[in-house]
Amino acid sequence: MARADRFIGKRVVVLGGNSGIGLACAQGFAEEGAGVRLTGRDPQTIASAVASIPGAKGNAVDISDLAAMDAFYETVAAEEGGIDVLMVNAGMGGFSLIEDMTSEYWDQVHSINLRGCVFAMQKAVRLMGEGGAIVVTGSIGGHAFVPGNAAYGAAKAGLALAMRQFAGEYVARGIRVNMVSPGPIETPLLYRNPGMDEAAVEAMREQMIAAVPMKRMGAAKEVADAVLFLASNEASFVTAANLMVDGGALEIG
């Protein structure tokens, strides 16, 4: 069982913390003593998330809008004085077969899942000191063939490489950078895939379960437990790691 005091006094920012995995992480950090600030694009879900976390703060900001992210970090610097832990979870889903894929769709996915996340980390490390930790949400989709997954998988694969670059370039400053790559997880994102109706999503969900050796979807809290470990001092000798939280789908399935 995890200790309940690993993040006392820590200033934690969770990008994309208003639902799903990000919300589970934000709640977990707060339960272990952190002061939490979360972001998202939907003010309504941000308000709901903040209401569920005592003392939390929320900001509506789009990670793909670099000017807006600059303003967000200025607010963090002014109000918090810095960042101890950054969780980069903001992202979008979506599937498109290559023959149907448009450049607009590719750019949309990459502006959020790769470009936005990379520059969010670049801006955040300026507010971090020795002992800081960054955890990034990847995906097993960035490591395996999945029909219709070219844009999303390429973005997550690029993010995995960027994570290792950050880990290598900032290790001398005492900042650890790691990734958690979930498999099929039961979150609202599953039901927000552009171009897929409810029946298509349910069919995809059943295919996912069949491909997981444990024969079930994962829970957001199971991913959050891995994130909190990597962000904590229990992982003080761990950097540039990519922890698969996928029920064995990538290595066994």
β-bridge mates for residue 3, sequence order: none
Residue with tokens 């199971």: 222
Cα 15 off chain centre by: 7
Alpha carbon distance 43, 182 (integer Å): 26
Catalytic residue among 73, 105, 152, 170: 152
User: Edge-to-edge, what's the strand order for the sheet holding 176-182?
Assistant: 57-60, 35-40, 11-15, 85-88, 133-137, 176-182, 242-245
| Tokens encoding 140 | 């097993």
Alpha carbon distance 166, 17 (integer Å): 22
152 as an active site residue: the answer is yes
Alpha carbon distance 229, 201 (integer Å): 31
Q: Could you tell me which residues come within 8 angstroms of residue 63 by beta carbon, excluding any fewer than 6 positions away?
A: 15, 16, 39, 69, 90, 112, 116, 117, 120
DSSP calls for 141-170: GGTS--TTBHHHHHHHHHHHHHHHHHHHHH
Its sign, for the CA torsion 198, 202, 207, 209, is: positive
Which residues form the catalytic set? Answer: 152
